[in-house]
Amino acid sequence: MWIFRLRRLGFQNILNLLKLSVIMPVYNEERSLREALGRVHDASVHEILAVDDGSADGSWAILEAAAAAMPELKLLRHRENRGKGAAIQTALARVTGDVVLVQDADLEYDPRDYPALLKPIEAGEADVVYGSRILGQNSASYRRYYWGGRVLSMATSALFGVRITDQHTCYKAFKTPLLRSLPLREAGFGFCAEATALLLRRGVKILEVPVSYRPRSMAQGKKIRWHDGLRALWIALRCRLACSRRKTFQRQEA
């Protein structure tokens, strides 16, 4: 498959063409944070913007120690836990790269997939690329998370007349100006649903590529809950209704 051919070419062939900024929200991730930072560092990215989102464990100390050895690592901090979306928005204001990509501080996703995500953007085929766990060879997940994500992706697809297989993937790569232009307001896990709906409302094409995935359990630190799914569905509906109202108003004005 072409994704594996890209991997054999190495990171630098792709990353030399685009400056990649990686946003890493961090909340109580001391068990996996060191290795996650090391994997992103090995990908030779332009910068890593790690946002400690009010962690109560040793995450901030780990980040401070890592920053001394990683010149590309920039540290930001919320004194209180505000949510993944809020962390992304805090970091986005300080991004200096051409493309921004979200990387969770766990070990579910593999930075070796970065070239596959960046290649369509560099080739001018897309302004935003999602890494789909469904299209990947290692798409297995815990049943409730798998079907929850599938139902939400199908609902969004039906609402906007497109086909999205994995709306809630962590791996979303955007041209930086595009992401900054979105009127984001969701502070929590609703970021995924909101960003997707706002893009589709504009008619922006979302290209999906397969990525690898190693799910963790709640006992291992997974934080998303069932009510986050309900929130995501409401966000998609809200954005779709707003789009319909705008079109109706425009027709009336004409």
pLDDT value, residue 16? 57
For 202, list phi and psi in degrees, rounded to 5. Answer: -80, -10
What percent helix, strand, coil does the chain show, rounded to 5? 50, 15, 35
Instruction: Write out the H or E segment, with its range, that includes residue 208.
Output: strand 207-210
Residue 94: is its pLDDT beyond 70? yes
Mean pLDDT for the stretch of residues 4-27: 70
Residue 78, SS3 per DSSP: strand
Q: End-to-end distance of the chain based on CA atoms, in angstroms?
A: 50
Q: Measured between alpha carbons, how far is 93 from 137 in angstroms, rounded to an integer?
A: 35
pLDDT at 15: 53
- Domain total for the chain? 1
Query: What's the CATH code of the domain at 26?
Result: 3.90.550.10
Say how far apart CA 51 and CA 103 lie, in whole Å: 11
Give residue 207's region: left, alpha or beta (phi > 0; psi -120 to 50): beta
- The pLDDT score that the predictor gives to residue 41 is 97
Length of the chain counted residue by residue: 254
Domain that holds residue 36: 2-253
Between helices 2-9 and 114-122, what is the axis angle to 10°? 100
The Cα–Cα gap between 182 and 143 comes to: 32
The pLDDT of residue 154 is above 70 = yes
Average pLDDT (4-23) is 65
Q: Is the pLDDT of residue 254 over 80?
A: no
Residue 132: its H or E element? strand 128-132
Confidence of residue 189 (pLDDT cuts 50, 70, 90): confident
Phi, psi of 182 (to 5 degrees): -80, 135
pLDDT digits (tens, 9 = 90+) for 57-73: 999 999 999 999 999 99
Token pair for residue 218? 């709640």
Least confident interval from 12-21, 142-151, 221-230: 221-230
The pLDDT value recorded for residue 13 is: 55
Q: Can you tell me the mean pLDDT for 21-29?
A: 97
**pLDDT at position 7 over 70:** no
Q: What Rg value do the Cα atoms of the chain yield, rounded?
A: 18
Higher-confidence position of 189 and 112: 112
Q: What is the DSSP letter of 112?
A: G
pTM for the whole structure: 0.83
Average confidence score pLDDT of the chain:
85
